[in-house]
Structure 1
Amino acid sequence: MLPDQTESSAPETPATGYRILLPSEWAQVPLRHGTEDAVRRILDEAYARIPADAPRDRIGPYKRELERRFRASVAEAQQSKALDLYLPVKPMGDFTVGASILVSESVVPRRPGQREAAAEPTDVAVQLLSRDGVEDADLSSGEIDGALAVRREHVADAAPGKGAELASRRVEYILSVPGDPDRWFVAALSTVGGGDPRDELAEALVEWFDAVMANFRWSRA
Protein backbone atom coordinates (compact mmCIF):
# COMPACT_ATOMS: atom_id res chain seq x y z
CA MET A 1 0.00 0.00 0.00
CA LEU A 2 1.43 3.36 -0.99
CA PRO A 3 1.53 6.30 1.41
CA ASP A 4 -0.92 9.12 0.81
CA GLN A 5 0.06 11.98 -1.43
CA THR A 6 0.93 15.24 0.29
CA GLU A 7 1.04 18.75 -1.11
CA SER A 8 4.21 20.81 -0.98
CA SER A 9 4.96 24.29 -2.26
CA ALA A 10 8.76 23.84 -2.16
CA PRO A 11 10.45 23.67 -5.58
CA GLU A 12 11.62 20.25 -6.67
CA THR A 13 15.33 19.49 -6.72
CA PRO A 14 16.10 17.56 -9.93
CA ALA A 15 16.95 13.88 -9.39
CA THR A 16 20.26 12.66 -10.78
CA GLY A 17 19.89 8.99 -9.85
CA TYR A 18 18.32 6.61 -7.38
CA ARG A 19 19.18 4.46 -4.37
CA ILE A 20 17.64 1.09 -3.67
CA LEU A 21 18.68 -1.08 -0.72
CA LEU A 22 18.81 -4.84 -1.33
CA PRO A 23 20.22 -7.78 0.67
CA SER A 24 23.77 -8.95 -0.06
CA GLU A 25 22.36 -11.98 -1.90
CA TRP A 26 21.26 -9.67 -4.70
CA ALA A 27 23.58 -8.24 -7.37
CA GLN A 28 23.21 -5.29 -9.71
CA VAL A 29 23.86 -5.61 -13.43
CA PRO A 30 24.05 -2.20 -15.15
CA LEU A 31 22.62 -2.59 -18.63
CA ARG A 32 24.06 0.42 -20.44
CA HIS A 33 27.63 0.69 -19.20
CA GLY A 34 29.85 -1.86 -17.47
CA THR A 35 27.56 -4.80 -18.19
CA GLU A 36 30.25 -7.30 -19.15
CA ASP A 37 32.39 -6.50 -16.11
CA ALA A 38 29.42 -7.08 -13.81
CA VAL A 39 28.43 -10.32 -15.55
CA ARG A 40 31.98 -11.66 -15.35
CA ARG A 41 32.32 -10.77 -11.66
CA ILE A 42 29.01 -12.40 -10.74
CA LEU A 43 29.84 -15.57 -12.68
CA ASP A 44 33.32 -15.80 -11.13
CA GLU A 45 31.80 -15.49 -7.65
CA ALA A 46 29.27 -18.22 -8.51
CA TYR A 47 32.00 -20.53 -9.78
CA ALA A 48 33.98 -19.96 -6.57
CA ARG A 49 31.05 -21.36 -4.56
CA ILE A 50 31.15 -24.72 -6.36
CA PRO A 51 32.14 -27.35 -3.76
CA ALA A 52 35.72 -28.47 -4.03
CA ASP A 53 34.66 -32.13 -4.04
CA ALA A 54 32.15 -31.70 -6.88
CA PRO A 55 32.60 -34.30 -9.69
CA ARG A 56 35.02 -32.86 -12.24
CA ASP A 57 33.00 -34.12 -15.19
CA ARG A 58 29.97 -32.15 -14.04
CA ILE A 59 31.63 -28.83 -13.26
CA GLY A 60 32.16 -27.84 -16.91
CA PRO A 61 28.56 -28.48 -18.04
CA TYR A 62 27.23 -26.77 -14.89
CA LYS A 63 29.31 -23.65 -15.54
CA ARG A 64 28.27 -23.48 -19.18
CA GLU A 65 24.56 -23.84 -18.36
CA LEU A 66 24.79 -21.28 -15.55
CA GLU A 67 26.48 -18.76 -17.84
CA ARG A 68 24.03 -19.43 -20.67
CA ARG A 69 20.99 -18.79 -18.48
CA PHE A 70 22.50 -15.77 -16.77
CA ARG A 71 23.56 -14.12 -20.02
CA ALA A 72 20.15 -14.86 -21.54
CA SER A 73 18.46 -13.01 -18.66
CA VAL A 74 20.78 -10.05 -19.09
CA ALA A 75 20.32 -9.98 -22.88
CA GLU A 76 16.53 -10.04 -22.51
CA ALA A 77 16.70 -7.12 -20.08
CA GLN A 78 18.93 -5.17 -22.45
CA GLN A 79 16.43 -5.63 -25.27
CA SER A 80 13.91 -3.68 -23.21
CA LYS A 81 16.41 -0.79 -23.02
CA ALA A 82 16.28 -0.90 -19.22
CA LEU A 83 18.79 0.78 -16.88
CA ASP A 84 19.62 -1.93 -14.34
CA LEU A 85 18.82 -5.56 -13.59
CA TYR A 86 18.94 -6.95 -10.04
CA LEU A 87 19.10 -10.70 -9.48
CA PRO A 88 19.47 -12.95 -6.40
CA VAL A 89 22.83 -14.56 -7.15
CA LYS A 90 23.34 -16.31 -3.81
CA PRO A 91 21.00 -18.70 -1.96
CA MET A 92 18.77 -17.01 0.61
CA GLY A 93 18.69 -19.57 3.38
CA ASP A 94 18.31 -23.04 1.90
CA PHE A 95 17.09 -22.06 -1.55
CA THR A 96 17.69 -19.72 -4.47
CA VAL A 97 14.89 -17.24 -5.08
CA GLY A 98 13.36 -17.19 -8.56
CA ALA A 99 12.91 -13.44 -8.93
CA SER A 100 14.31 -10.33 -10.58
CA ILE A 101 13.97 -6.57 -10.38
CA LEU A 102 14.20 -4.54 -13.57
CA VAL A 103 14.72 -0.78 -13.44
CA SER A 104 13.90 1.31 -16.50
CA GLU A 105 12.62 4.72 -17.48
CA SER A 106 9.90 6.06 -19.74
CA VAL A 107 9.67 9.45 -21.38
CA VAL A 108 6.41 11.09 -22.36
CA PRO A 109 7.26 13.72 -24.99
CA ARG A 110 5.17 16.81 -24.59
CA ARG A 111 3.43 18.06 -27.70
CA PRO A 112 4.39 21.56 -28.89
CA GLY A 113 2.43 24.14 -26.93
CA GLN A 114 1.19 21.60 -24.37
CA ARG A 115 0.96 23.03 -20.86
CA GLU A 116 2.68 21.22 -17.98
CA ALA A 117 -0.61 20.70 -16.16
CA ALA A 118 -2.51 19.60 -19.27
CA ALA A 119 -2.82 16.06 -17.91
CA GLU A 120 -2.98 14.78 -14.36
CA PRO A 121 0.31 12.99 -13.48
CA THR A 122 -1.60 10.00 -12.10
CA ASP A 123 -3.44 9.64 -15.42
CA VAL A 124 -0.14 9.74 -17.31
CA ALA A 125 1.34 7.06 -15.04
CA VAL A 126 -1.66 4.76 -15.50
CA GLN A 127 -1.48 5.35 -19.25
CA LEU A 128 2.18 4.27 -19.27
CA LEU A 129 1.36 1.11 -17.33
CA SER A 130 -1.51 0.34 -19.70
CA ARG A 131 0.68 0.27 -22.81
CA ASP A 132 1.20 -3.50 -22.55
CA GLY A 133 -2.51 -4.28 -22.42
CA VAL A 134 -2.47 -5.91 -18.97
CA GLU A 135 -5.96 -6.41 -17.57
CA ASP A 136 -7.29 -7.31 -14.13
CA ALA A 137 -4.40 -5.56 -12.36
CA ASP A 138 -4.53 -4.02 -8.91
CA LEU A 139 -3.66 -0.32 -9.04
CA SER A 140 -2.94 2.16 -6.27
CA SER A 141 -1.24 5.55 -6.08
CA GLY A 142 0.58 7.59 -3.49
CA GLU A 143 3.97 9.22 -2.94
CA ILE A 144 7.51 7.92 -2.48
CA ASP A 145 10.34 10.26 -1.46
CA GLY A 146 8.35 13.27 -2.61
CA ALA A 147 7.39 11.84 -6.01
CA LEU A 148 4.05 10.65 -7.32
CA ALA A 149 4.04 6.84 -7.46
CA VAL A 150 1.60 4.41 -9.06
CA ARG A 151 1.76 0.71 -8.15
CA ARG A 152 0.44 -2.10 -10.33
CA GLU A 153 0.27 -5.79 -9.40
CA HIS A 154 -0.84 -8.68 -11.56
CA VAL A 155 -0.07 -12.27 -12.58
CA ALA A 156 1.43 -12.82 -16.03
CA ASP A 157 0.63 -16.09 -17.76
CA ALA A 158 3.38 -18.47 -18.81
CA ALA A 159 4.78 -17.79 -22.29
CA PRO A 160 7.06 -20.69 -23.31
CA GLY A 161 7.64 -19.12 -26.71
CA LYS A 162 9.24 -16.14 -24.98
CA GLY A 163 11.25 -18.21 -22.51
CA ALA A 164 8.75 -17.84 -19.63
CA GLU A 165 7.99 -21.45 -18.72
CA LEU A 166 6.01 -20.52 -15.60
CA ALA A 167 3.45 -17.87 -14.74
CA SER A 168 4.89 -15.01 -12.71
CA ARG A 169 3.79 -12.43 -10.18
CA ARG A 170 4.57 -8.86 -11.26
CA VAL A 171 4.69 -5.73 -9.12
CA GLU A 172 5.59 -2.46 -10.80
CA TYR A 173 6.18 0.98 -9.35
CA ILE A 174 6.21 3.96 -11.70
CA LEU A 175 7.46 7.21 -10.20
CA SER A 176 7.46 10.73 -11.60
CA VAL A 177 11.09 11.91 -11.73
CA PRO A 178 11.49 15.07 -9.59
CA GLY A 179 12.31 18.16 -11.61
CA ASP A 180 11.52 16.48 -14.94
CA PRO A 181 7.76 16.01 -15.48
CA ASP A 182 8.25 14.17 -18.77
CA ARG A 183 10.37 11.34 -17.27
CA TRP A 184 9.11 8.36 -15.31
CA PHE A 185 11.14 5.84 -13.31
CA VAL A 186 9.94 2.22 -13.31
CA ALA A 187 10.97 -0.55 -10.89
CA ALA A 188 9.41 -3.95 -11.55
CA LEU A 189 9.60 -7.16 -9.53
CA SER A 190 8.94 -10.47 -11.25
CA THR A 191 8.82 -13.77 -9.35
CA VAL A 192 7.59 -17.31 -9.93
CA GLY A 193 7.41 -17.85 -6.17
CA GLY A 194 7.92 -21.52 -5.35
CA GLY A 195 6.45 -22.51 -8.71
CA ASP A 196 3.08 -20.81 -8.18
CA PRO A 197 2.89 -17.01 -8.48
CA ARG A 198 0.21 -16.96 -5.80
CA ASP A 199 1.94 -19.15 -3.23
CA GLU A 200 3.32 -18.08 0.16
CA LEU A 201 6.80 -17.41 -1.18
CA ALA A 202 5.42 -15.11 -3.88
CA GLU A 203 3.33 -13.29 -1.27
CA ALA A 204 6.38 -12.84 0.95
CA LEU A 205 8.46 -11.49 -1.94
CA VAL A 206 5.73 -9.00 -2.88
CA GLU A 207 5.63 -7.73 0.71
CA TRP A 208 9.43 -7.54 0.74
CA PHE A 209 9.50 -5.55 -2.52
CA ASP A 210 6.90 -3.14 -1.17
CA ALA A 211 9.20 -2.56 1.81
CA VAL A 212 12.17 -2.04 -0.52
CA MET A 213 10.27 0.60 -2.47
CA ALA A 214 9.03 2.28 0.71
CA ASN A 215 12.73 2.95 1.43
CA PHE A 216 13.54 4.04 -2.13
CA ARG A 217 15.34 7.37 -2.35
CA TRP A 218 16.33 9.72 -5.13
CA SER A 219 19.91 10.89 -5.51
CA ARG A 220 20.11 14.63 -5.98
CA ALA A 221 22.90 16.99 -6.94
Structure 2
Amino acid sequence: MAAEQKAAAVGQGTGPATGYRLLLPSQWAQIPLRRGTDEAIERILQDAYARIPADAPRDKIGPYKQELARRFRKAVAGAQEHKGLDLYLPVRPVGDDDFNLGASILVAETVLPVRDSSASQTPPSEIAVQLLTRDGAGEADLSSGEVDGALAVRREHVAAAAPDKGLVAASRRVEYIVSVPEDPDRWFIAAFSTIGGGDPRDELSEALVEWFDAVMATFRWRRG
Protein backbone atom coordinates (compact mmCIF):
# COMPACT_ATOMS: atom_id res chain seq x y z
CA MET A 1 0.00 0.00 0.00
CA ALA A 2 1.66 3.19 -1.17
CA ALA A 3 1.80 6.43 0.79
CA GLU A 4 1.94 10.14 0.13
CA GLN A 5 3.07 12.15 3.10
CA LYS A 6 1.95 15.62 2.08
CA ALA A 7 -0.97 15.85 -0.28
CA ALA A 8 -4.28 17.62 -0.49
CA ALA A 9 -7.23 15.66 0.85
CA VAL A 10 -9.09 13.77 -1.83
CA GLY A 11 -12.74 12.82 -2.11
CA GLN A 12 -14.17 9.43 -1.31
CA GLY A 13 -13.92 8.23 -4.93
CA THR A 14 -14.67 4.70 -6.01
CA GLY A 15 -12.73 1.50 -6.48
CA PRO A 16 -10.36 -0.36 -4.16
CA ALA A 17 -7.90 1.51 -1.96
CA THR A 18 -4.34 1.35 -3.28
CA GLY A 19 -2.69 3.69 -0.80
CA TYR A 20 -3.20 6.43 1.72
CA ARG A 21 -2.47 10.10 2.33
CA LEU A 22 -1.50 11.86 5.54
CA LEU A 23 -0.75 15.51 6.20
CA LEU A 24 2.34 15.91 8.39
CA PRO A 25 4.52 18.90 9.30
CA SER A 26 7.73 19.40 7.33
CA GLN A 27 9.76 18.35 10.40
CA TRP A 28 8.57 14.78 9.88
CA ALA A 29 10.09 12.50 7.25
CA GLN A 30 8.68 9.37 5.66
CA ILE A 31 10.91 6.29 5.44
CA PRO A 32 9.50 3.53 3.22
CA LEU A 33 10.31 0.17 4.77
CA ARG A 34 10.00 -2.17 1.79
CA ARG A 35 11.61 -0.31 -1.11
CA GLY A 36 13.85 2.73 -1.17
CA THR A 37 14.71 2.49 2.53
CA ASP A 38 18.48 2.98 2.21
CA GLU A 39 18.05 5.96 -0.11
CA ALA A 40 15.61 7.63 2.30
CA ILE A 41 17.92 7.03 5.27
CA GLU A 42 20.91 8.50 3.45
CA ARG A 43 18.94 11.55 2.33
CA ILE A 44 17.72 12.26 5.87
CA LEU A 45 21.14 11.78 7.42
CA GLN A 46 22.82 14.06 4.89
CA ASP A 47 20.22 16.72 5.64
CA ALA A 48 20.99 16.36 9.36
CA TYR A 49 24.75 16.52 8.78
CA ALA A 50 24.30 19.73 6.77
CA ARG A 51 22.87 21.41 9.88
CA ILE A 52 26.01 20.80 11.97
CA PRO A 53 27.39 24.25 12.87
CA ALA A 54 30.41 25.25 10.84
CA ASP A 55 32.34 26.10 14.02
CA ALA A 56 31.71 22.69 15.67
CA PRO A 57 34.92 21.03 16.97
CA ARG A 58 36.27 18.81 14.21
CA ASP A 59 37.06 15.96 16.63
CA LYS A 60 33.41 15.88 17.74
CA ILE A 61 31.78 15.78 14.30
CA GLY A 62 32.78 12.23 13.39
CA PRO A 63 31.49 10.59 16.60
CA TYR A 64 28.33 12.71 16.43
CA LYS A 65 27.58 11.55 12.88
CA GLN A 66 28.23 7.94 13.82
CA GLU A 67 25.90 8.06 16.81
CA LEU A 68 23.21 9.85 14.82
CA ALA A 69 23.36 7.25 12.06
CA ARG A 70 23.38 4.39 14.58
CA ARG A 71 20.29 5.63 16.41
CA PHE A 72 18.42 6.36 13.21
CA ARG A 73 19.20 3.02 11.55
CA LYS A 74 18.27 1.21 14.75
CA ALA A 75 14.84 2.88 14.76
CA VAL A 76 14.29 1.93 11.12
CA ALA A 77 15.44 -1.67 11.66
CA GLY A 78 13.03 -2.02 14.58
CA ALA A 79 10.15 -0.85 12.39
CA GLN A 80 11.13 -3.33 9.68
CA GLU A 81 11.07 -6.15 12.22
CA HIS A 82 7.40 -5.31 12.77
CA LYS A 83 6.82 -5.67 9.01
CA GLY A 84 5.78 -2.06 8.63
CA LEU A 85 5.05 -0.24 5.39
CA ASP A 86 6.28 3.23 6.34
CA LEU A 87 7.95 4.87 9.31
CA TYR A 88 7.56 8.57 10.08
CA LEU A 89 10.06 10.31 12.36
CA PRO A 90 10.62 13.95 13.42
CA VAL A 91 14.01 14.54 11.80
CA ARG A 92 14.25 18.31 11.56
CA PRO A 93 14.73 20.60 14.55
CA VAL A 94 12.00 22.72 16.06
CA GLY A 95 13.62 25.83 17.47
CA ASP A 96 16.85 24.82 19.17
CA ASP A 97 15.92 21.14 19.49
CA ASP A 98 18.17 18.53 17.89
CA PHE A 99 17.44 15.35 15.99
CA ASN A 100 14.66 13.88 18.13
CA LEU A 101 13.61 10.23 18.06
CA GLY A 102 11.25 10.62 21.01
CA ALA A 103 8.18 10.02 18.84
CA SER A 104 7.30 7.96 15.80
CA ILE A 105 4.44 6.80 13.57
CA LEU A 106 4.58 3.28 12.15
CA VAL A 107 2.20 2.37 9.33
CA ALA A 108 1.50 -1.30 8.64
CA GLU A 109 -1.19 -3.56 7.33
CA THR A 110 -2.40 -7.00 8.26
CA VAL A 111 -4.30 -9.56 6.21
CA LEU A 112 -6.63 -11.97 7.93
CA PRO A 113 -6.62 -15.63 6.90
CA VAL A 114 -9.18 -16.51 4.24
CA ARG A 115 -12.43 -17.21 6.04
CA ASP A 116 -14.82 -20.06 5.35
CA SER A 117 -17.67 -18.49 3.44
CA SER A 118 -20.06 -21.03 4.94
CA ALA A 119 -19.24 -19.93 8.48
CA SER A 120 -21.05 -17.10 10.19
CA GLN A 121 -19.32 -13.79 9.57
CA THR A 122 -17.73 -12.04 12.53
CA PRO A 123 -18.72 -8.34 12.62
CA PRO A 124 -15.81 -6.15 11.40
CA SER A 125 -15.86 -4.12 14.62
CA GLU A 126 -15.29 -7.29 16.66
CA ILE A 127 -12.42 -8.33 14.38
CA ALA A 128 -10.80 -4.92 14.85
CA VAL A 129 -11.02 -5.16 18.63
CA GLN A 130 -9.54 -8.66 18.55
CA LEU A 131 -6.62 -7.41 16.47
CA LEU A 132 -5.96 -4.57 18.88
CA THR A 133 -6.17 -6.69 22.03
CA ARG A 134 -4.31 -9.79 20.88
CA ASP A 135 -1.00 -8.61 22.40
CA GLY A 136 -2.51 -8.47 25.87
CA ALA A 137 -2.65 -4.74 26.60
CA GLY A 138 -5.35 -5.22 29.20
CA GLU A 139 -5.70 -1.60 30.31
CA ALA A 140 -6.09 -0.16 26.84
CA ASP A 141 -8.67 2.56 26.19
CA LEU A 142 -10.67 1.41 23.16
CA SER A 143 -13.08 3.45 21.06
CA SER A 144 -14.53 3.08 17.57
CA GLY A 145 -15.62 5.31 14.75
CA GLU A 146 -14.72 6.00 11.12
CA VAL A 147 -11.66 7.19 9.23
CA ASP A 148 -12.43 8.50 5.74
CA GLY A 149 -15.63 6.48 5.68
CA ALA A 150 -14.07 3.21 6.88
CA LEU A 151 -14.59 1.46 10.21
CA ALA A 152 -11.81 2.34 12.66
CA VAL A 153 -10.96 1.27 16.18
CA ARG A 154 -8.63 3.43 18.27
CA ARG A 155 -6.55 2.06 21.13
CA GLU A 156 -4.55 4.09 23.62
CA HIS A 157 -2.31 2.66 26.31
CA VAL A 158 1.02 3.02 28.10
CA ALA A 159 3.68 0.44 27.28
CA ALA A 160 6.08 -0.32 30.09
CA ALA A 161 9.82 -0.09 29.62
CA ALA A 162 11.41 -3.34 28.41
CA PRO A 163 15.21 -2.96 28.40
CA ASP A 164 15.64 -6.52 27.11
CA LYS A 165 13.76 -5.46 23.97
CA GLY A 166 15.58 -2.15 23.61
CA LEU A 167 12.72 -0.11 25.15
CA VAL A 168 14.57 1.83 27.82
CA ALA A 169 11.61 4.04 28.76
CA ALA A 170 7.86 3.68 29.06
CA SER A 171 5.94 5.10 26.13
CA ARG A 172 2.47 6.36 25.28
CA ARG A 173 0.93 4.46 22.38
CA VAL A 174 -2.05 5.31 20.20
CA GLU A 175 -3.08 2.93 17.43
CA TYR A 176 -5.75 3.18 14.76
CA ILE A 177 -6.77 0.00 12.98
CA VAL A 178 -8.91 0.71 9.93
CA SER A 179 -10.80 -1.64 7.65
CA VAL A 180 -9.60 -1.29 4.05
CA PRO A 181 -12.60 -0.40 1.83
CA GLU A 182 -13.92 -3.19 -0.38
CA ASP A 183 -11.36 -5.64 1.02
CA PRO A 184 -12.73 -7.04 4.30
CA ASP A 185 -9.68 -9.20 5.05
CA ARG A 186 -7.20 -6.26 4.96
CA TRP A 187 -6.66 -3.80 7.79
CA PHE A 188 -4.60 -0.61 7.85
CA ILE A 189 -2.74 0.16 11.09
CA ALA A 190 -1.24 3.50 12.15
CA ALA A 191 0.67 3.29 15.44
CA PHE A 192 1.97 6.39 17.23
CA SER A 193 4.48 6.20 20.08
CA THR A 194 6.07 8.88 22.27
CA ILE A 195 8.06 9.05 25.48
CA GLY A 196 6.91 12.64 25.97
CA GLY A 197 9.15 14.59 28.25
CA GLY A 198 10.21 11.42 30.07
CA ASP A 199 6.80 10.55 31.50
CA PRO A 200 4.27 8.91 29.14
CA ARG A 201 1.45 10.74 30.92
CA ASP A 202 3.00 14.21 31.11
CA GLU A 203 1.69 17.33 29.37
CA LEU A 204 3.95 16.85 26.37
CA SER A 205 2.61 13.32 25.85
CA GLU A 206 -0.96 14.57 26.13
CA ALA A 207 -0.29 17.29 23.56
CA LEU A 208 1.37 14.84 21.16
CA VAL A 209 -1.52 12.39 21.45
CA GLU A 210 -3.94 15.18 20.54
CA TRP A 211 -1.66 16.09 17.65
CA PHE A 212 -1.66 12.52 16.33
CA ASP A 213 -5.45 12.35 16.50
CA ALA A 214 -5.49 15.54 14.42
CA VAL A 215 -3.10 13.94 11.92
CA MET A 216 -5.40 10.94 11.58
CA ALA A 217 -8.26 13.30 10.83
CA THR A 218 -6.35 14.20 7.63
CA PHE A 219 -6.13 10.54 6.57
CA ARG A 220 -7.57 9.80 3.14
CA TRP A 221 -7.58 6.65 1.04
CA ARG A 222 -5.91 6.82 -2.34
CA ARG A 223 -7.74 4.77 -4.91
CA GLY A 224 -6.54 3.25 -8.16
The two structures have a TM-score, normalised by structure 1, of 0.92
**Corresponding position: 1:195 with 2:198:** yes
The residue number in structure 2 matching 1:108 is: 112
Q: CA deviation at 1:99?
A: 0.1
Q: Secondary structure at the match of 2:132?
A: helix
Q: CA deviation at 1:111?
A: 2.5
Q: CA deviation at 1:211?
A: 0.4
Distance in 1 (CA, whole Å) between partners of 2:21 and 2:13 is: 21
Distance in 2 (CA, whole Å) between partners of 1:12 and 1:123 is: 26
Listed as ranges, the matches of 1:95-174 within 5 Å are 95-96=97-98, 97=100, 98-114=102-118, 118-174=121-177
**Corresponding position: 1:21 with 2:26:** no
- Which residue identity lines up with residue 43 of structure 1 in the other structure? L
Query: Relative to structure 1, is the Cα distance of residues 11 and 89 closer, same or farther in structure 2, using a 3 angstrom cutoff?
Result: closer
Distance in 2 (CA, whole Å) between partners of 1:41 and 1:11 is: 34
Please point out which of 31, 41, 44 is paired with 2:43.
41
Distance in 2 (CA, whole Å) between partners of 1:11 and 1:49 is: 42
The residue number in structure 2 matching 1:58 is: 60
Task: Give identity over the alignment, percent.
Answer: 71
The residue number in structure 1 matching 2:8 is: none
Q: CA deviation at 1:216?
A: 0.5
Q: Deviations over 1:191-217 (max 9, x none)?
A: 000111101110000000000001100
The residue number in structure 1 matching 2:3 is: none
Aligned residues: 211
Query: Relative to structure 1, is the Cα distance of residues 11 and 61 closer, same or farther in structure 2, using a 3 angstrom cutoff?
Result: closer
Moved over 3 A (4+): none
62-71 or 86-95: bigger deviation: 86-95
- Which residue identity lines up with residue 23 of structure 2 in the other structure? L
Q: CA deviation at 1:113?
A: 2.7
Distance in 2 (CA, whole Å) between partners of 1:212 and 1:190 is: 14
- Gap runs ≥5 in structure 2: 1-11
Q: Secondary structure at the match of 1:152?
A: strand
The two structures have a TM-score, normalised by structure 2, of 0.91
- Which residue identity lines up with residue 78 of structure 1 in the other structure? Q
Distance in 2 (CA, whole Å) between partners of 1:18 and 1:11 is: 13
- Which residue identity lines up with residue 70 of structure 1 in the other structure? F
Q: CA deviation at 1:11?
A: 10
- Gap runs ≥5 in structure 1: 1-9
Distance in 2 (CA, whole Å) between partners of 1:99 and 1:133 is: 22
Distance in 2 (CA, whole Å) between partners of 1:122 and 1:102 is: 22
The residue number in structure 2 matching 1:79 is: 81
- Which residue identity lines up with residue 24 of structure 1 in the other structure? S
Q: Give the alignment's Cα RMSD to 1 decimal.
A: 1.6
Q: Deviations over 1:33-62 (max 9, x none)?
A: 000000000000000000000000000000
The residue number in structure 2 matching 1:7 is: none
Q: Deviations over 1:91-147 (max 9, x none)?
A: 2233355100000001111323346x7011110001111121111010000011110
Distance in 1 (CA, whole Å) between partners of 2:212 and 2:158 is: 15
